[in-house]
Amino acid sequence: MTLWFILGLMTAAAIFAVLWPLGRKSQLRSGNDIAVYRAQLDEIEADRAAGRIAENEAQAARVEISRRLLAAADAAPTVVAGDSSPLRRAAALVALVLLPLGAASLYLTFGSPHEPSQPIADRRGPPSEEDSILDLVARVEAHLANDPDDTRGWQVIGPVYMRLGRYDDAVKAQQNVLRISGANADRETNLGESLTAASGGIVTAEAKAAFERALTFEANEPKARFFLGLAAEQDGKPQEAAAIWRDMIATAPMDARWLDIVRQAMARVESPPPGPTDKDVSAADNLSSEQRTAMVQGMVARLAERLKTEGSDVDGWLRLLQSYMVLGEREKALAAAADARRALATDPDKLRRVNELIKGLGLEG
């Protein structure tokens, strides 16, 4: 009933808009127009005399207003528009009868007067996955602000922070889980993984300690073992990394989802590019920290120079990227990542290995 009342008001307004100009008299041209134009000519002359406008501007304005003055003087007065001419009667008939009938017919044909109304919120469609995640995060954060000792809340939001790339927040969440519930293999592993992500893919000393603590609770925890192998690789100990990963592969269930990742890591370290020899490593033990850093930087620089002419060496690119990250030279790592992608663009397998490491080191985005 309300809908039809509104439609009736809208139709009445439309009819009134049509009938109003038909029923009123047209404006008559009179001496008032002439008087206005003459007053404007006087104002222009006064402005010119006072120096407010230039002579050429005054002349242009006088010409235009004089044209309008002549037109007003020559125009014949119009008769009233409210006469009863056949054309006006026909227009009024259309407005009074045909307009509402036509509108009603169209609505009944194409409209849906019997359908219930739909709220605006329902018309927007279902929320996107990102909106749902952000809404979840906001609600959990509000809950944890009031109850910071809710272990379940921190356990829920920690992995979500990792997915959103909020790694520092993920570290805080895992630390709170450990604070409230104590340590076990999963909690220590999750903390180590968050710390590694927060450091751009580098297994820091703090992260390594967390993974080692995880193994005291569960000696075969696969994620902790994998990251300890990665730490060994980043420390320049590929043989140690290979030993860890080789043992993981040998003892893994056949359907373990992480087997492919470990095999790819094994392939990376089993055929490493030329690097420092055992003699070089032994000599480095007798150097100061500054001298060791300079030696490492020199080796990295030589590797980068070699890859300019041997761009197909995927293991060399992998070692170069990791070396830059260990040295804290992120900008050089980003540049090397771009160079590696260009050099290996025609080899999908090698390019895939480089892209996986780039993602693992946090060099994307």
Look at residue 224 and tell me whether its pLDDT is greater than 80. Answer: yes
CB 210 within 8 A of CB 240: no
Structure confidence at residue 81 (pLDDT): 41
pLDDT for 316-353, tens place per residue?
888 888 888 878 888 888 899 899 999 999 988 888 88
Q: Once rounded to an integer, what is the mean pLDDT over residues 137-159?
A: 90
Average pLDDT, the chain: 76
CB 167 within 8 A of CB 202: no
Structure confidence at residue 234 (pLDDT): 80
Cα end-to-end distance, the chain, whole Å = 57
User: 61-75, 203-217, 337-351: which range is least confident on average?
Assistant: 61-75
In eight-state DSSP terms, residue 81 is: S
Q: For the chain, which residues make up each domain, given as ranges?
A: 2-110, 129-270, 280-360
CB 363 within 8 A of CB 334: yes
| The domain made up of 129-270 is a member of CATH 3.90.550.10 | no
More confident residue, 290 or 139: 139
More confident residue, 293 or 196: 196
Look at residue 1 and tell me whether its pLDDT is greater than 60. Answer: no
Cα–Cα distance between 277 and 281 in angstroms, integer? 6
Structure confidence at residue 298 (pLDDT): 75
Q: How many helices (H) and strands (E) does the chain have?
A: 19, 0
User: 22-31, 46-55, 107-116: which range is least confident on average?
Assistant: 22-31
Look at residue 193 and tell me whether its pLDDT is greater than 70. Answer: yes
Look at residue 279 and tell me whether its pLDDT is greater than 80. Answer: no
Q: Once rounded to an integer, what is the mean pLDDT over residues 153-169?
A: 89
Structure confidence at residue 213 (pLDDT): 96
pLDDT for 19-45, tens place per residue?
555 555 444 444 556 666 667 777 777
Q: Once rounded to an integer, what is the mean pLDDT over residues 164-186?
A: 93
Q: What share of the chain is helix, strand, coil (3-state, %, to 5)?
A: 75, 0, 25
Structure confidence at residue 271 (pLDDT): 63
